[in-house]
């Protein structure tokens, strides 16, 4: 077993202990693993399956059912660019293009340094302030391409 797999195994073990190895706590167990790694590593899912004695397919079906879970590494910060109709007509596509250009990734991807995950969303209910960009929980309204770089450099 690789060093990383051993570390994951130990961490999963501690999380399972916390939930007393109860199969009914699978969602909470996966939430804790996601919080630890910012995604659900394959080795962790295999370990959960093995230790709880439930099929790996069952673990994967829960892991892929909830949108909050990710099977691929995510950035420390999530950027959501609204492309709903109101934001779209106010220039959201140009804003998204600029974010993609600055980060060197496309929507749906994560930067290689795992700093940012970029996603597009539809209306987030703040149309009057569009275009809207949300970084983590912070809304920025009336976004322009000039505001993109200062916004990105303000995060660690």
Note whether 130 binds ligand FES by CB under 6 A. Answer: yes
Note whether 135 binds ligand FES by CB under 6 A. Answer: no
Note whether 132 binds ligand FES by CB under 6 A. Answer: yes
Q: What angle (nearest 5°) sits at the alpha carbon of residue 144, between those of residues 138 and 147?
A: 60
Note whether 107 binds ligand FES by CB under 6 A. Answer: no
User: Rounded CA gap, 37 and 71, in Å?
Assistant: 10
What is the 3-state composition of the chain as percent helix, strand, coil, each rounded to the nearest 5?
50, 10, 35
Nearest Cα residue to 74 out of 46, 34, 43: 34
Residue showing the smallest CB distance to ligand FES in the complex:
84
Note whether 84 binds ligand FES by CB under 6 A. Answer: yes
User: Rounded CA gap, 108 and 74, in Å?
Assistant: 10
Number of residues located near ligand FES, criterion CB under 6 A: 12
User: Rounded CA gap, 132 and 95, in Å?
Assistant: 9
Encoded tokens for 56: 């790996």
Provide the minimum distance between the beta carbon of 47 and ligand FES in the complex, in angstroms, as a whole number. 40
Note whether 96 binds ligand FES by CB under 6 A. Answer: no
Q: Which of 33-41, 46-54, 82-90, 104-112 is the region at the interface with ligand FES (rule: CB under 6 A)?
A: 82-90
Provide the minimum distance between the beta carbon of 82 and ligand FES in the complex, in angstroms, as a whole number. 3
Maximum C-alpha span of the chain: 54
Note whether 99 binds ligand FES by CB under 6 A. Answer: no
Contact residues for ligand FES (CB under 6 A)? 82, 84-87, 123-127, 130, 132
């Amino acid at each position: 077993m690789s060093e990383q797999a051993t570390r994951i195994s130990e961490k999963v073990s501690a999380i399972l202990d916390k939930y007393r190895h109860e199969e009914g706590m699978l969602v909470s167990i996966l939430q804790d693993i996601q919080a630890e790694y910012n995604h659900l590593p394959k080795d962790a899912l295999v370990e959960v399956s093995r230790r709880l004695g439930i099929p790996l397919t069952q673990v994967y079906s829960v892991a892929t059912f909830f949108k909050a879970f990710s099977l691929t590494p995510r950035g420390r910060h999530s950027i959501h660019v609204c492309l709903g109709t109101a934001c779209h007509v106010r220039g959201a596509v140009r804003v998204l293009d600029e974010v993609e250009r600055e980060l060197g990734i496309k929507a749906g991807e994560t930067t290689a340094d795992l700093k940012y995950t970029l996603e597009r969303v539809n209306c987030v209910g703040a149309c009057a302030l569009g275009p809207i960009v949300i970084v983590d929980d912070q809304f920025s309204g009336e976004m322009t391409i000039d505001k993109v770089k200062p916004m990105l450099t303000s995060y660690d």
